[in-house]
């Protein structure tokens, strides 16, 4: 008996939540959105941190909540916990991001605690020394992870002398840090001017902004200009092979040029990327996983930073099929760059792109993350309407054109981390290989 797949019910029009926004006199922009599904509030504070010195900035992000003049780290943690709250800081080359959540009734208290840390963090000697040792240990562990090592090598290869080239400090740079540079960095860069606070949850948006204004009004000052030069164009060259003796898999990484979110051709590029390798039902995954069994998963995505965007494709493949995996990967890149996608596979990718936008907005945390991320690029959620329209409108020819320009294997920068002795002969059969010095 054959049964027929039910049709999809067409989606209703994209319904964007209302964003309330106010820029306070200290330069802090506050965006508040009501989504009252659960009685919580999500908090995201993005502070521009471009060109901040890497080692102190990384340790600052770990030590931010370790003390104020009136509270030690345990007091801060306990007070936050009392309103169901938790906050943590993270760093990337563009920003310091403080994120967390709390019971909705605890919003005021959470913002008060956030304000006291922003205006009065003391970086106590004892706590900073604890966090310093912990950070060194974390970096040590990261350096034993193949995915991290492959990323380190790829970033260096992609960005050369640009600040994005190194995003994790060396343990020895951390070991020598005292609290002094953290306090100086905090004073210089943890400033409200240009920062964006996003609040999403079971809140009254206007009231939440009023509270933020009252509580964070005392945070003041401007930071020095942290803007970064645009990222350099990728320089192609030999495949870079990084040795990891005894590795039972190889980490394959390919960087390609890409477009920024606001580029008119970005939707077409994103669709081309989906067809190639950007989701499970892509050619790349169907080939090297579902047909050949070379990998558990492969994935490609466009990564956006403030100073530029790049497309990165990644897969962990079995050591003995590293060469064949590269062969199939280059084949799929060559195919999407040379021939237009099929009608049905393009429609499938388009529906996926449009659908996942809706999924991403369906939770408080998803909305908060989107609003904060967009704000970091000077955009608001209404950009989603424009982007959805561009995804809907992109033609097969436009997608093919974007693919031939940005997914061409001739433009790829390739890094492979693995057991060099076993994989170098396989890779050398396909392309020119250069061993990493490190």
Partner 1 sequence: MAPKIKIPATKYPVERFTLGNGLRVVLSPDRSAPVVGVAVVYDVGIRSEPEGRTGFAHLFEHLMFQGSENLEKLAHFRHVQGAGGSFNGSTHLDYTDYFEVLPTGGLERALFLEADRMRGPRLTEENLRNQVDVVKEEIRVNVLNRPYGGFPWLKLPPVMFSTFANAHDGYGSFEDLESATVEDAQGFFDRYYACGNAVLSVAGDFDVAEATTMIERHFGDVPARPAPQLPDFDEPDINGERRESYTDRIAPLPAVAAGWRVPDPIGTFEDYLPYVVLAEVLTDGDASRLVERLVQRDRTATTLGGYLGFMGDEYLVRNPTALLLQAHLPPGGDAGKVLRTIDEELDRLAADGLKPGELDRTQARMATRALHGTDDVLGRAQPMAVLELQRGRPGLLNDLPKLISEVREEQIVAAAGTLRPERRASVEVFPGASS
Which region among 139-147, 223-231, 257-265, 333-341 touches partner 1 (by CB under 8 A)? 139-147
Q: Which stretch of DSSP H or E encloses residue 147?
A: helix 146-159
CB of 134 to partner 1, least distance (A): 5
| Residues forming a β-bridge with 61 | none
Say whether residue 76 binds partner 1 (CB under 8 A): yes
Task: Give the burial class of 5: count Cβ atoms within 10 A of its Cβ; 0-12 exposed, 13-18 middle, 19 or more buried.
Answer: exposed
Which of residues 98 and 195 has its CB atom nearest to partner 1 in the complex? 98
CB of 354 to partner 1, least distance (A): 6
Asked if residues 47 and 96 have their Cβ atoms less than 8 Å apart, the reply is yes
Q: Out of 125, 206, 291, 303, point to the residue binding partner 1 (CB under 8 A).
A: 291
CA 247, 253, 257: angle at the middle one, nearest 5? Answer: 170
Total binding residues for partner 1 by CB under 8 A? 86
Asked if residues 21 and 30 have their Cβ atoms less than 8 Å apart, the reply is yes
d(CA 207, CA 108): 10
Which region among 50-58, 243-251, 303-311, 398-406 touches partner 1 (by CB under 8 A)? 243-251
d(CA 399, CA 393): 11
Say whether residue 245 binds partner 1 (CB under 8 A): no
Query: Which region holds residue 378: left if phi is over 0, alpha if psi is between -120 and 50, else beta?
Result: left
Say whether residue 371 binds partner 1 (CB under 8 A): no
Say whether residue 362 binds partner 1 (CB under 8 A): yes
Say whether residue 109 binds partner 1 (CB under 8 A): yes
Least Cα distance to 30 among 284, 168, 207 occurs for 207
Name residue, tokens 């030069």: 229
Say whether residue 233 binds partner 1 (CB under 8 A): no
Say whether residue 354 binds partner 1 (CB under 8 A): yes
Q: Out of 233, 359, 437, 438, point to the residue binding partner 1 (CB under 8 A).
A: 359
| Residues forming a β-bridge with 304 | 309
Q: Out of 122, 329, 364, 372, point to the residue binding partner 1 (CB under 8 A).
A: 364
Say whether residue 324 binds partner 1 (CB under 8 A): no
| Residues forming a β-bridge with 164 | none
Which region among 234-242, 255-263, 343-351, 389-397 touches partner 1 (by CB under 8 A)? 343-351
Say whether residue 102 binds partner 1 (CB under 8 A): yes
């Amino acid at each position: 008996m054959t049964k027929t797949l039910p049709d999809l019910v067409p989606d209703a029009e994209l319904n964007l939540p209302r964003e309330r926004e106010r820029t306070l006199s200290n330069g802090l922009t506050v965006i508040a959105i009501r989504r009252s599904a659960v009685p919580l509030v999500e908090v995201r504070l993005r502070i521009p941190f471009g060109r901040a010195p890497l080692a102190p900035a990384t340790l600052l992000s770990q030590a931010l909540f370790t003390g104020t003049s009136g509270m030690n780290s345990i007091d801060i943690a306990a007070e936050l916990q009392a309103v169901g709250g938790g906050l943590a800081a993270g760093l990337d080359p563009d920003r310091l991001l403080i994120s967390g959540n709390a019971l909705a009734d605890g919003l005021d208290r959470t913002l008060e605690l956030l304000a006291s840390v922003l205006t009065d963090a003391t970086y106590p000697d004892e706590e900073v020394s604890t966090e310093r040792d912990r950070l060194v240990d974390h970096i040590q562990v990261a350096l034993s992870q193949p995915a991290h090592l492959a990323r380190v090598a790829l970033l260096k290869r992609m960005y050369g002398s640009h600040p994005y080239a190194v995003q994790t400090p060396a343990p020895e740079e951390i070991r020598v840090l005292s609290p002094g540079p953290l306090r100086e960095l905090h004073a210089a860069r943890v400033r409200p001017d240009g920062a964006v606070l996003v609040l999403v949850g079971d809140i009254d948006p206007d009231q939440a902004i009023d509270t933020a204004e009252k509580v964070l009004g005392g945070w003041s000052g401007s930071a020095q200009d942290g803007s970064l030069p645009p990222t350099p164009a990728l320089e192609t060259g030999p495949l870079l092979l990084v040795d990891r003796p005894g590795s039972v898999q190889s980490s394959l990484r390919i960087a390609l040029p890409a477009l920024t979110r606001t580029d008119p051709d970005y939707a077409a590029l994103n669709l081309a990327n989906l067809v190639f390798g950007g989701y499970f039902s892509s050619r790349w995954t169907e080939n090297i996983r579902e047909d050949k069994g070379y990998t558990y998963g492969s994935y490609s995505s466009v990564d956006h930073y403030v100073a530029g965007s790049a497309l990165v494709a990644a897969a962990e493949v079995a050591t003995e099929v590293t060469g064949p995996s590269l062969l199939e990967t280059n084949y799929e890149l060559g195919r999407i760059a040379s021939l237009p996608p099929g009608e049905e596979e393009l429609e499938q990718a388009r529906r996926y792109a449009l659908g996942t936008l809706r999924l991403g907005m369906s939770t408080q945390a998803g909305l908060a993350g989107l609003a904060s991320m967009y704000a970091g690029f000077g955009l608001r959620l209404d950009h989603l309407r424009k982007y959805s329209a561009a995804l809907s409108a992109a033609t097969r020819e436009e997608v093919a054109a974007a693919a031939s320009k940005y997914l061409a294997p001739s433009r790829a920068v390739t890094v492979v981390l693995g057991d060099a002795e076993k994989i170098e002969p396989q890779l050398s059969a396909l392309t020119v290989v250069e061993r990493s010095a490190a």
